A and B are shown apart, each in its own frame.
Chain A
Amino acid sequence: MKLHEYQGKALLRQAGLPVPRSEVVFSSAEVKKALTALGGEKGVAKAQAFTGGRGKAGGIKLFGSLAEAEQITSKLIGMTLVTHQTGPEGVKIEAVLLEDQSRIARELYFAVTLDRAKANIVFILSPEGGMDIEEIAEHTPEKILKLYPEWGQGPGDALLKQASDFLGLTASQAAPFADIARKLYNLYIAKDCALLEINPLAVNDAGNLVLLDCKVNIDDNALFRQQDTGGDPDAEKDPAEIEAAKYGLSYIKLDGNIGCMVNGAGLAMATMDIIAHYGAQPANFLDVGGSASEEAVTKAFEIISGDKHVKAILVNIFGGIMPCDRIARGIIGAVNTTGLKVPLVVRLEGTNVEQGKTLIRESGLDIIAGDDLEDAARKAAATVATAAAGV
C-alpha cells in the first residue's frame, strides 16, 4: 500500500524527524485555515498523487499570497497530472499539501528498503538527490552506496560514519544525520514498510537537514497490524479490483480481450504469457487463490464477464488445494445466473479432475473443453481471431 506524501510526512513527524511544517487541503475552501495554522502566506503547494516527477509536470507551485494559494489549489484539485511515470492516462489529484518553503543548499537521497537477494534491510544513499534514483543508477552508479545495518542491531556508528562521509556531510551534520538514519530504520520496522524513500533529504541554507519529500509503501501482508498509517489500501485500484479483493481474488485489469481465470499467481502469469504467445492479449490477471469458495469462483466469473472488452474467457485450473469439482460448480453456477455471452474455454487438471469434467459435461452448457494448457490457449485465441475476422 502506498502512502501519499502528506500521510508519509505525518508518520515522519510522529517519529520525531525534521520535516517542514505543512497542512493538507482537499479543497480551496480549506486553504485560509491551513495558512493560518502555518502562520504565513508564502510557501509551496504540492499536488498529492502517486507519481514522481510532479514538479516538471506542473504539480508543484510556489505561492506568495492567500489568493494565489487558493487559486493554485483550486486549479490542482481535480486535475489529472501526467508525468513521465504515469503514462498518458495520468493520475487524478485529490489533495494539495501546503508547505513552508525551504531554502535548499544541497539535495541528497536516502532510502530504506528490502534487499531480497541479501535478505536484509538496505540503506541506499546518494549525494545526488532530488532526481530519479534510477537515472543516477544508470548514469553515475558510483554515486550510489548501499549499506546493510545488522539485523537486530540497527545502523551502527561505523556504518553511519561511512554514510555521512559518502554524502559529504560536515562534522556538525554527522550527529543529526545519524539520528535521522536511526529513526528511519526504526520507523521502517515499526510500520512494516516495504519502501521508505526520502528524496530529497535536503541540507538547507542554515546547514540543517530536512526531509523534503517522501515515498512510503507499507507491506500489504502486514496491513492487518498497520491500520493507523492513514493510507487507503484501495487508493490505486480499479472498482472491479476492489470488488474482487472482497472475495479473496487477486485481479488486475489489462488491455486485451481474453478474460482469464486461473489458480496460482505463477500459472496466471504463464496463462497470460501463452495467450500472448498465440497472438492474442489477456484482458486481466486473475488468481482465484488456493482455497476459493464456489461463491468466489462465481464472483470471479461475473467480474471477467463484466469487462466489456472481453471476447472470450479462458479458465485454467490446476487443482491442488482447490479441487476441480468446486471450480466446475462455481462456473456452472455463474453461467446459470449471468448467462454466457462469449465463448468459454475450460481446462481443468489435478485434484478431483474427473468429477469436475463430468459436472461440466453433464451441465448441458456450451462450454469448450481444453485438453491441456496449449490446446486451451489455442482455442481461446482462435475464437477471438474468428470473431475479429467476422467469420
Chain B
Amino acid sequence: MAILIDANTRLITQGITGKAGLFHSQQCRDYGTQVVGGVTPKKGGTTVDGFSVFNSVAEARRETGANTTMIFVPAPFAANAILEAADAGIELIVAITEGIPTLDMLKVHNALKDKKCILIGPNCPGVVTAGVCKVGIAPGPIHKKGRIGIVSRSGTLTYEAVHQTSLLGLGQTTAVGIGGDPIHGLSHLDVIRMLNEDSETEGIVLIGEIGGSDEEMAAAYIREYVKKPVVGFIAGASAPKGKRMGHAGAIVDGQAGTAQSKKDALRAAGVTIAETAAEIGQKMFEAMR
C-alpha cells in the first residue's frame, strides 16, 4: 500500500527547464516514477531531455493526466505556482522551493482550505515510496523497500533515517519530508495518521526539530491512537538560545518549542527517543524485535 505516492503517480515538474528542476525530474524518472512532463511559462511546446514542456499546469494535466506535481519555481513566484496547481486539479503538490515568504504561505494555506488537494512542504525534500516512486530531491539509491514509515521536517535527517533503516534491513514503506517552514502543508500528525492506517507500515520514525508545536500535537495523537512502535528524534538541543523571533512569538507556543519539551511530550506518548541522529535506525531495529 504505502502512502501518498505509488505506481499510479503521474508526475509533472513546475520549473522543469531550470537546472535543479530538470536534474531532479531525470532522477525521479530514473527511479521509476512516471514523469509525464513539466511546466515552464512561455516554453510550452518544447521538450527537454524527452520531457514535454507546457505553458500551464492546467494544460499539462489535460494533456498528460498528471495527478502530482513537484515545484522548483523560485521563491518569489512559488506560492502562485502552488495555487495554480491546486486550481488545475492536481491532487498532490510537493513544494521543494526554499525561502517562500511566510505571508505568501498563509495565503496559500487559506486558499487550499476548501480544495481537496494535499500540499507537502514547502522547503522540503519530497516523498519516496521505496522501490516504487520518488517525488522530490531525496537520493533514490539509499531507499530500500520495507516496513518503516518516516516523517521529518528536515531533508538530510530524513536521508539519515532512511539510510540507517536500509542498512539494518528494515527498509521503508514511504518516507515523507514535510519541510522546515513555519506554515506548511501536511503536518507530522497528518503523516503519522496515514502511516498508522497503512497496512504495510509496521513501525514509524518521527524526526522533528526545535520551534513550533507540530511534534507535540503528533505526540497527543500517538498517545491515543498509535499501537505501532514509534522512534522519535528531535534536533536542536545544543542550538544557541536567542536566535528566535522575539517575545510574542515565544508566548504563542508557551513552553512548547524546545527540544526538551518535544522529547518529553513524545516520551509521555510511548515514543522511544533516539538521543543522537546516529542511533535512529538502531532504536527502530530494537523496537521492532
Contact = CB atoms under 8 A, between A and B. Distances in A.
Given A114-B102, A318-B160, A217 B76 contact: no
B284 to A, nearest CB: 15
Task: Tell me the dominant secondary structure on chain A's binding face.
Answer: mixed
Given A85-B242, A119-B106, A274-B278, 16 more contacts: A87-B242, A115-B252, A116-B211, A134-B251, A192-B101, A192-B103, A217-B246, A267-B277, A273-B236, A273-B277, A276-B237, A318-B163, A321-B24, A321-B137, A350-B139, A373-B276
Given A116-B253, A219-B103, A320-B125, A270 B139 contact: no
Interface in A293-345: 318-321
B156 A264 contact: yes
29 contacts: A111-B248, A116-B182, A120-B106, A133-B248, A144-B251, A152-B110, A189-B103, A195-B248, A197-B246, A254-B240, A264-B157, A266-B157, A267-B154, A267-B277, A269-B209, A270-B157, A270-B235, A273-B235, A273-B237, A273-B277, A274-B277, A277-B275, A285-B239, A285-B240, A320-B139, A351-B139, A373-B276, A374-B278, A374-B279
Given A133-B251, A274-B277, A221 B137 contact: no
Nearest to B125: A320
A55 to B, nearest CB: 16
Interface string A80-114: 00000101000000000000000000000001011
Contacts of B288: none
Given A266-B180, A270-B235, A273-B236, A117 B212 contact: yes
B183 A116 contact: yes
B277 A124 contact: no
B239 A272 contact: yes
B217 A117 contact: yes
A52 B247 contact: yes
B7 interface: no
Contacts of B41: none
A263 interface: yes
B247 A194 contact: no
Interface string B225-238: 00000000101111
Nearest to A87: B242
A277 B180 contact: no
A189 B278 CA distance: 42
Contacts of A267: 154, 156-157, 160, 235, 277
Contacts of A368: none
Interface string A358-391: 0000000000000011100100000000000000
Interface of A: 52, 85, 87, 111, 113-117, 119-122, 124, 132-134, 137, 144, 146, 151-152, 189, 192, 194-195, 197, 215, 217, 219, 221-222, 224-225, 252, 254, 262-267, 269-277, 282, 285, 290-291, 318-321, 349-351, 372-374, 377
Interface in B186-224: 207, 209-214, 217
Nearest to A277: B276
Interface in B76-127: 76, 98-103, 106-107, 109-110, 125
Contact of A124 (B138, B157, B210, B251): B251
A262 B155 CA distance: 12
Given A119-B109, A267-B154, A274-B277, A114 B160 contact: no
B101 A222 contact: yes
Contacts of B159: 318, 320, 349-350
B250 A320 contact: no
Contacts of B239: 269, 272, 285
A217 B245 contact: yes
Residue from B24, B106, B212, B248 with most neighbouring chain A CB atoms (10 Å): B248
A390 B155 CA distance: 39
Given A115-B252, A137-B254, A221-B102, A270 B277 contact: yes
Contacts of B98: 290
A189 B209 CA distance: 27
Nearest to B243: A252
Contacts of B76: 224-225
B75 A117 contact: no
Given A264-B154, A266-B155, A373-B278, A252 B240 contact: yes
A49 to B, nearest CB: 14
Q: Which of A113, A266, A377 has most chain B Cβ within 10 Å?
A: A266
Contacts of A221: 75, 99-102
B110 A151 contact: yes
B262 interface: no
Given A152-B110, A373-B277, A265 B154 contact: yes
Contacts of A290: 98, 137, 155
Nearest to A378: B278
B156 A114 contact: no
A320 B162 CA distance: 12
B249 interface: yes
Nearest to B212: A116
Given A266-B207, A270-B233, A195 B249 contact: yes
Given A124-B251, A137-B254, A282 B238 contact: yes
Given A222-B103, A225-B76, A320-B139, A263 B246 contact: no
Nearest to A150: B110
Given A195-B246, A221-B101, A269 B213 contact: no
A197 B182 contact: no
A152 B279 CA distance: 46
A226 to B, nearest CB: 9
Contacts of A114: 102, 106, 182-183, 249, 252
